[in-house]
A and B are shown apart, each in its own frame.
Chain A
Amino acid sequence: MKYSISLFIILFSAAVFAQDSTSIYKKRVLEAAEVDFLTSYYSQDGDNAAVSGGIGTEKLTNFTPTIVVAIPLNDDDVLTIDAGVSAYTSASSSNIDPFDGDGPADPYVASSGASASDLLASANFSYSHSSDDRNNIVSAKVSVSSEYDYFSLGFGGSYTKLFNEKNTEISVQANVYLDTWQLLYPIELRESPTFNELDKKNRNSYSLGFGFSQILSKNIQGSLSLDLVQQQGLLSTPFQRVYFSDLPDRFRENFHLADDIERLPETRFKTAIGGRLNFFINETFVLRTFYRYYFDDWGINSHTASVEIPIKISDRFTLYPSYRFYNQTAADYFQPYNTALSTDEFYTSDYDLSEFSANQYGFGVSYTDIFTKFKLWHFGLKSIDVKYNYYKRDSGLNYNLISAGFKFVRN
């Protein structure tokens, strides 16, 4: 009996010690607080503005300073705060009222009214918890964004399970966005007795996503993902004009006066299936590939393929050449400028919903200092990333995008 009690005490102590050891040596999910300063400058041009019914300038610039702070609350939990603003100027938006500028109204010339610029402010808060063995991760998030004519509240959560010695990972995530528009119509329609105003100003989006990733060898890993999205409510944009071919054209100055705004169904179901395959070729080259097939019940089918080849030219510098191809078929409701019929139920001249192909070429540089020698207050600079992208559609629209990121870690 005495022997049994002694054995029990030894085993119990060993078990307790083992648990303590686990808690003592458990690797923190995030070792120290991290701060990312991210920013971008976007410049776009084209001649198919949706605000002026498929013709007119699409010049647009956008500047987006953003800060992302990740804070380890303990060994298992991380709080991430992501906040930023997006300040833009848009020639086409200025033509919601093209008659408030200095010169004659013209769809190819920006007006100078209140709609010429706006500021979008957004904030996301996310919280994640990892199990002791790091094989289960749950997270929750809340987001809010606001601009002059748009407000959005979002929330969601995800669950990730790792198994097979962390060679396999499955995940599921759900998100809800509750968006509200302020209904801003083209100026000439606001007093029109024949114009039918929209009866909805809310847009709700419900998304469900599934992920699967697998390590295939010591140098190759891949993933598959499926996103299902149901949208309901106001899915058209209130200030995008449409011109009917079966009605007489009316002009004021050089500007074609709208017959109506775009009208689109109040529901849309989207499905996106994507895959990634990354290959560590050697100490210098990595191959990153991505493919996505997308379709929805508005008649749009799309293929996206991209490849990026990170090239490590030294311990600290990596180059990132990349190429992306995209194409889509047109939505069932798309009509080019002045070709829609007044008898149709739905119509839009938004060329973002037209058939097109696009090519994007990118090049980036990354600098990494694992010793974080440069200090800013209590934080050391870990990396700097700079990237440039040039995007061009076969229908003419093009944009330039310069992005930069500075990552600091608390010492």
Chain B
Amino acid sequence: MGSLGSCTVVKEYEKVNLNDPDMVLGTKAIDRFEVNAQAYREAASGANGGKTGGGCGCN
């Protein structure tokens, strides 16, 4: 929790772990189909990089 509350700036050379492809703050390219299927089958959408409504016959 200490690190969560910290306001310390992480320098570029300290971002090795943060730059790992699995640390990206979003969905990966292959996940687009999963997000799209959920947009069709569920009422909720948005806030995840996928469709928010419109552009498809989905909810």
Residue in B17, B29, B43, B54 whose CB lies within 8 Å of A405 = B29
Residue in A152, A300, A304 whose CB lies within 8 Å of B54 = A152
Residue in A296, A310, A404 whose CB lies within 8 Å of B22 = A310
Q: A383's closest neighbor in chain B, by CB? A: B21
Q: How many residues of A contact B (CB 8 A)?
A: 82
> Is B41 in contact with A272, judged by CB distance below 8 angstroms?
no
Bound-complex Cα distance A225 to B57 (A): 24
Bound-complex Cα distance A389 to B12 (A): 36
**Given that A167-B10, A385-B28 are known contacts, is A207 also in contact with B3, CB under 8 Å in the complex?**
no
Bitwise interface map of B from 2 to 41 toward A, beta carbon under 8 Å scored 1, else 0? 0110101111101101101011111011111110011011
Residues on A close to B: CB < 8 A? 36, 38, 40, 42, 44, 64, 68, 143, 145, 147, 150, 152, 154, 164-167, 175-177, 179, 203-205, 207, 209, 213, 215-223, 225-227, 229, 231, 237, 268, 270, 272-274, 276, 278, 280, 286, 288, 290, 292, 294, 296, 298, 300, 302, 304, 310, 318, 326, 328, 331, 352-353, 358, 360, 362, 364, 385, 387, 389, 391, 397, 399, 401, 403-405, 407
Which residues of A sit under 8 angstroms from B11, Cβ to Cβ? Answer: 165
Residue in B42, B54, B56 whose CB lies within 8 Å of A302 = B42
> Is B42 in contact with A165, judged by CB distance below 8 angstroms?
no
Which residues of B sit under 8 angstroms from A36, Cβ to Cβ? Answer: 29
Residue in B24, B37, B48 whose CB lies within 8 Å of A290 = B48
Q: In the assembled complex, how far is the CB of residue B9 from the closest CB belonging to chain A, in whole angstroms? A: 5
**Given that A216-B4, A364-B30, A403-B34 are known contacts, is A292 also in contact with B47, CB under 8 Å in the complex?**
yes
Which residues of A sit under 8 angstroms from B31, Cβ to Cβ? Answer: 387, 403
**Given that A353-B59, A385-B30 are known contacts, is A226 also in contact with B47, CB under 8 Å in the complex?**
yes
**Given that A288-B22, A302-B42 are known contacts, is A401 also in contact with B59, CB under 8 Å in the complex?**
no
Which residues of A sit under 8 angstroms from B18, Cβ to Cβ? Answer: 215, 218-219, 221, 280
Bound-complex Cα distance A260 to B11 (A): 63
> Is B55 in contact with A179, judged by CB distance below 8 angstroms?
yes
Which residues of A sit under 8 angstroms from B15, Cβ to Cβ? Answer: 215, 218
Residue in B20, B28, B47 whose CB lies within 8 Å of A227 = B47
Which residues of B sit under 8 angstroms from A405, Cβ to Cβ? Answer: 29-30
Report 20 cross-chain contacts, Cβ distance below 8 Å, ordered by A residue: A179-B54, A205-B55, A209-B46, A209-B52, A219-B3, A219-B17, A220-B4, A221-B23, A227-B47, A231-B54, A270-B45, A274-B46, A280-B18, A296-B43, A300-B44, A304-B44, A326-B42, A331-B43, A352-B42, A391-B41
Bound-complex Cα distance A274 to B29 (A): 19
In the complex, besides A167-B10, A205-B52, A385-B28, 12 extra interface pairs with C-beta distance below 8 angstroms are: A38-B30, A38-B33, A42-B37, A68-B29, A150-B56, A177-B54, A219-B3, A231-B54, A270-B53, A272-B52, A276-B25, A387-B34
Q: In the assembled complex, how far is the CB of residue B56 from the closest CB belonging to chain A, in whole angstroms? A: 7
> Is B3 in contact with A217, judged by CB distance below 8 angstroms?
yes
- Of A154, A217, A274, the most chain B CB neighbours within 10 A belong to A217
**Given that A167-B10, A219-B18 are known contacts, is A401 also in contact with B57, CB under 8 Å in the complex?**
no
> Is A274 in contact with B48, judged by CB distance below 8 angstroms?
yes
